[in-house]
Structure 1
Amino acid sequence: MSTILITGGHSGIGLKCVRQLAAQGIDLVLAGRNPTHLELAASSIRSGAGVKVAIVEMDVSSLVSVRKGAAQCRQMIESGSISGLQAILCNAGATFRGDATYTEDGFELTFATNYLGHFLLVQLLIDSLEGDGRVVFTASGTHDPDTADGKFIGRAVRPDAFALAKTGLDGGKPLPGGTRYTTSKLCTVLHAYELDRRLKVAGLSISSIAYDPGAIAETGLLRDLPGPARALIGSPPVRWLMRRMGLTLGDLTQSGHALADLATGKDFGSGRYYQWKDGVLGETRSATMSYDEELAQALWRDSKTLAGVSPDEEPDCLK
């Protein structure tokens, strides 16, 4: 029996994903901020599919919370209450409009939520994965500034982890909310590719994949819009117009099922970027910057410092 850990698996495409995984008989660990919401989702899945569903309280924007959650996962594996992990799905994420806000660690909330917390989580749990395990990162087509998606809410800028953590770039000028989001997702893709390179150097068969589920009115990028705006974006005429503009639109259920496919399917390559578009899950190219290995290495190095990953703590396979 295999177990899959997912952040943000109690709502949105994450919930659609875990229901699909449970239907395949896969045990689950749901990690999220709200234990009540987690348990409601877990209870529903247990009763419907008869699989084990554990919950772990984890706020990915908080490094302390990520550490506590990862330690709990390790304890469950060591005690035998769950099996070793077959996959880690780094799915939780959000966009925060308006002025920048900061976490208890002093980091900008978008950067911490969408990128840095998951960076630390992978560092702490990568050696809990089975030999053919998988890490899947929910990214976004908005990370590519050369596409219609990437121009929609604000073009991503060249990532500098220390600057992003304080939102200061170009002489300390604060970044708009849309650019904070798109740049955090560019960091996610850079991370996925750098993780793949390091795993291959270590001779491991663990896969690292980035995934764009498309823009979905009920979740992610568009979730915090006012209700009428979400309804308008979800209407067929507006979605037709958005497609004509070249935007990649997702579907709540099908995009969630595609995430489940990426977690368990055999036909997906490591170090690749997959996108759900027009009812099809397929590989595509990501932003030009995402293939910059020097940029990825610098981001990795600085992220270790920001996340407080000590040399003794860093897994040998990632050094």
Structure 2
Amino acid sequence: MPTVLITGGHSGIGLDCSKDLAARGFDLVLAGRSPARMQIVAQELRSAHNVDVLLVELDTSSLASVRTAADECQSLLQRGEIGSLVAVICNAGGRFDGDVRYSEDGYELTFATNCLGHFLLVQLTVPLLAARGRVVFTASGTHDPDTMDGRMVGAAMKPDAFALANDGKDGSRPLSAGKRYSTSKLCDVMYAYELARRLERAGSSVSAISFDPGSIPSTGFLRDMPKAMQWLANTRLFGWVSRRMGVVTSTSKFSGTSLAQIATEDQYPTGSYLQANAGTLTKVRSSTVSYDEQIAVTLWNDSKDLVGLIPDEEPAELR
């Protein structure tokens, strides 16, 4: 059976995406940091839908973990334990409030988790994708400073990979948690666009798409915020006020189902930016800077340097 690899597929919109995929007969590879939690989800999906669900331990903030996970996926495919890989969904991520933190590789944790880990994972798994396969990045409307989503979280900064990876070092004042998050999501959108351009130039049938799931307070996005804020964000009043202010809102179920559709259905063209908003999935324009191809190429090349990509790891179609 066709197989989908998804990071963070055991919680939040990732879990709803996994449920939808399994219900439609797709086998899954769940990749995440919590094998015990993933095992519970895997058992439920196997029992409910009679699909194969395999687990790969993966921490996207760790480049070593990404390389190990990608190797394991390749081995699973070579041994025939999974069918053709039809999609890679780069869904895991987080916002890290409080003092700036760094990954085991020495990179700012938000950028390492939301960007560099998935960038490397894509480089290592694109060769595993079947014809007409898909790569989907879960982004966020917060990447666009001209929207209410972007203004509320903190306007995204210029996507300078080296500056973002080293944010707050050498005594410099770090970006706010909101700006670190929104900028990381801008980078994800630009990764998707640049990936789509490179694949098209190479004549590949693989697609690359970015997806804004909308504001979903019930997910882990607010887990580092004060308890009072977490409670308020889950009230009907907060949702009503958010919509009146122009914030893009959705539910975990709708956005998860939308993510599953984007990853497996042909009507969504490569290079698209899709948004779930109040029960509707539509193709919309992303931020102005996200279409700057020169900035995207620099971001891509700098990210290659930061993850230590060697020639043998880089797919020919992405060079």
| TM-score, normalising length: structure 2 | 0.97
The residue identity in structure 1 corresponding to 2:131 is G
Question: What residue number does 1:87 align with?
Answer: 87
CA distance in 2, matches of 1:266, 1:220: 30
The residue identity in structure 2 corresponding to 1:123 is Q
Runs of 4+ in structure 1 off by over 6 angstroms are none
2:102 aligned with 1:125, yes or no? no
The within-5 A match list for 1:101-120 is 101-120=101-120
Identity level (%) = 54
CA distance in 2, matches of 1:104, 1:16: 30
Question: What residue number does 2:164 align with?
Answer: 164
CA distance in 2, matches of 1:39, 1:220: 19
Structure 2 SS opposite 1:174 = coil
Question: What residue number does 2:137 align with?
Answer: 137
CA contact (8 A) 1:217 1:223 kept: no
CA distance in 1, matches of 2:57, 2:253: 25
Comparing 219-228 with 308-317, which one deviates more in the overlay?
Answer: 219-228
2:294 aligned with 1:318, yes or no? no
CA distance in 2, matches of 1:162, 1:306: 8
CA contact (8 A) 1:99 1:176 kept: no
CA contact (8 A) 1:190 1:296 kept: yes
CA distance in 2, matches of 1:270, 1:11: 26
The within-5 A match list for 1:64-75 is 64-75=64-75
Question: What residue number does 1:18 align with?
Answer: 18
Deviation, structure 1 residue 233: 1.6
Deviation, structure 1 residue 275: 0.3
Deviation, structure 1 residue 238: 1.6
The within-5 A match list for 1:1-319 is 1-168=1-168, 172-319=172-319
Deviation, structure 1 residue 252: 1.0
RMSD: 1.4
CA contact (8 A) 1:110 1:184 kept: yes
CA distance in 2, matches of 1:255, 1:313: 33
The residue identity in structure 2 corresponding to 1:311 is P
The residue identity in structure 2 corresponding to 1:114 is N
| Offset from partner CA, 1:207-229 (integer Å, 9 cap, x none) | 10000001111214323334442
The residue identity in structure 1 corresponding to 2:35 is P
The residue identity in structure 1 corresponding to 2:182 is T
CA contact (8 A) 2:115 2:184 kept: yes
Note the residue ranges of structure 2 that are not aligned, 5 or more in a row. Answer: none
CA contact (8 A) 1:215 1:221 kept: no
| Offset from partner CA, 1:179-226 (integer Å, 9 cap, x none) | 000000000000000000000000011110000001111214323334
CA distance in 2, matches of 1:264, 1:179: 32
The residue identity in structure 1 corresponding to 2:310 is S
Note the residue ranges of structure 1 that are not aligned, 5 or more in a row. Answer: none
Deviation, structure 1 residue 266: 2.0
CA contact (8 A) 1:216 1:222 kept: no
| Offset from partner CA, 1:61-113 (integer Å, 9 cap, x none) | 00000000000000000000001210000000100011110111000000001
Deviation, structure 1 residue 47: 0.7
The residue identity in structure 2 corresponding to 1:188 is D
Comparing 284-293 with 234-243, which one deviates more in the overlay?
Answer: 234-243
CA distance in 2, matches of 1:238, 1:107: 34
